[in-house]
Amino acid sequence: MIRIKHLSAHYQTVQGTVKATEDVAFDIFDNEILGIAGESGCGKTTLMKAIYGNVEPPMFIASGSIELEVEELGEQKIIPNHEIHRYWWDYISYIPQASMSVLNPVVRIKDQFLDSYLRAEVRALGKQALLDRMAAYLQELELPPEVLNAFPHQLSGGMRQRVIVALATFVHPKFVLADEPTTALDVVVQRGILTMLMNLQKQLHNTFVIVSHDMGVHYQITDRMVIMYAGKVAEIARTDVLFERPQHPYTEMLINSLPRVGDDQQRAGIGGRPPSLLNPPGGCRFADRCYLADAYCRQVQPDLVEVEPGHFVACLKRAPSLALTTTESSHRGDAGK
């Protein structure tokens, strides 16, 4: 499993430090599809980069850590975040956002994979044997094996994305992180790719972490969800529980804001915008846009509170914390004023 321990990952910019994620803490279990939802700028991509151990300036880890638990030669080992990169591809692989455009346009698909992450496998098996296995693997996933010989521009966006997902799981990594894997794609192709991800997970019994702003996508494929808002975790729950009884007002809004086909109800967006992460407010970060918020919410930071087994909420109104007046939060509350 992966343990995220009170992680604060920030960016150093000319204007100051952007606190992209702050005090994020949750576990990613084995054999699950975990969804991370939230809007642009809520820190989901930053969190993914940190989990993947790909921390490069201007991003840095201000406090906290991430631990990857791996089994090597029958032994349980805990890998700290600065060493995660040694386990890339074999244990943990990452499908970045806009991965359709990360491919080199003048190199055939197969060469891009053979020359980069499969070098160890090429040495062990030989190039041709490996290519045969890749072709067989693609066929298993109902993709035409000819795509290996194609240049990226010869494939449609949806096909490219499917090939990337397939090849990223080729060596059966324990963890696959996918950042907005279907965002630029059409509904039909999106459905195809998500179904493929679900089937892969069932086959491999590994863990997928899916970042998406689309709650429909989460409903369809994830087992558990983390809702983020302005760099902090707002709610964590099993997906069915989250949709049935969302506790955080922001989660409610994410689920209910968009219309559905066949539903004639009038809908309204919510006013305001997320706070600047250069200088986040002292209290609850959603307070300015929340219909429940009062003066108290603007002063005190809510902690994540377990309201039922496995269901955590950070809201002073819905889940009043037992430790409301911890020195930490009251201190921050004063600083923000």
Partner 1 sequence: MTGKSLEIRNVSKIYRIGGLIGATKIAAVDRVNLSLSLEAGQAQVLSLVGESGSGKTTLARMILHLVQPTHGEIIIDGMNTGGRLSRSQLRIFRRRAQPIFQNPFESFSSRKTVDSYLFETARNILGAKSKADAYKAVDEALVNVGLSAERVIGRYPNQFSGGELQRISVARAMIPHPELLVADEPVSMIDASMRMNVVNLFKKLRDEFNVTILYITHDLSTAYYVSDRIAIMYRGNIVESGPSAAVLKKPVHPYTELLLDSVAKIGEKWGEVVRLPDMETKEYGYVGCKFAERCPYVRDICRKVKPPMVAAEDGREVLCFKPVDYEDVEQKQVTK
Q: Which residues bind partner 1 (CB under 8 A)?
A: 39-40, 144, 156-159, 162, 185-192, 194-195, 213-217, 219-220, 243, 253-255, 257-262, 267-271, 273, 289
40 or 76: CB nearest partner 1: 40
Q: Please state, in angstroms and rounded to a whole number, the distance separating the CA atoms of residues 65 and 127.
A: 38
Least separation in angstroms between residue 100's CB and partner 1 is 11
Radius of gyration of the chain (CA): 21
Instruction: Determine whether 326 is exposed, middle or buried from the number of CB atoms within 10 Å of its CB (0-12, 13-18, 19+).
Output: middle
Q: Please state, in angstroms and rounded to a whole number, the distance separating the CA atoms of residues 207 and 58.
A: 29
112 or 190: CB nearest partner 1: 190
Count of beta carbons in the 10 Å neighbourhood of residue 104: 13
115 or 186: CB nearest partner 1: 186
| Sequence-separated (6 or more) residues with CB below 8 Å from residue 227 | 37, 38, 233, 234, 235, 236, 242, 248, 250, 251, 254
Least separation in angstroms between residue 251's CB and partner 1 is 12
Count of beta carbons in the 10 Å neighbourhood of residue 291: 9
> DSSP class of residue 202?
H
Least separation in angstroms between residue 227's CB and partner 1 is 12
Least separation in angstroms between residue 15's CB and partner 1 is 11
Count of beta carbons in the 10 Å neighbourhood of residue 206: 20
Q: What angle do CA 264, 267, 268 make, to 5 degrees?
A: 165
| Alpha carbon of residue 336 to chain centroid | 29
Q: Please state, in angstroms and rounded to a whole number, the distance separating the CA atoms of residues 114 and 134.
A: 10
Q: Please state, in angstroms and rounded to a whole number, the distance separating the CA atoms of residues 315 and 295.
A: 14
Q: Are 306 and 320 spatial neighbours (Cβ–Cβ below 8 Å)? A: no
Least separation in angstroms between residue 215's CB and partner 1 is 6
53 or 192: CB nearest partner 1: 192
Which amino acid, one-letter code, is at 190?
Answer: Q
Q: Which residues pair with 7 in a beta bridge?
A: 24
97 or 330: CB nearest partner 1: 97
Least separation in angstroms between residue 165's CB and partner 1 is 13
Classify strands 305-308 and 75-80 as parallel, antiparallel or unpaired: unpaired
Least separation in angstroms between residue 196's CB and partner 1 is 9
Least separation in angstroms between residue 216's CB and partner 1 is 3
**Residue 276: strand, helix, or coil:** coil
Least separation in angstroms between residue 172's CB and partner 1 is 22
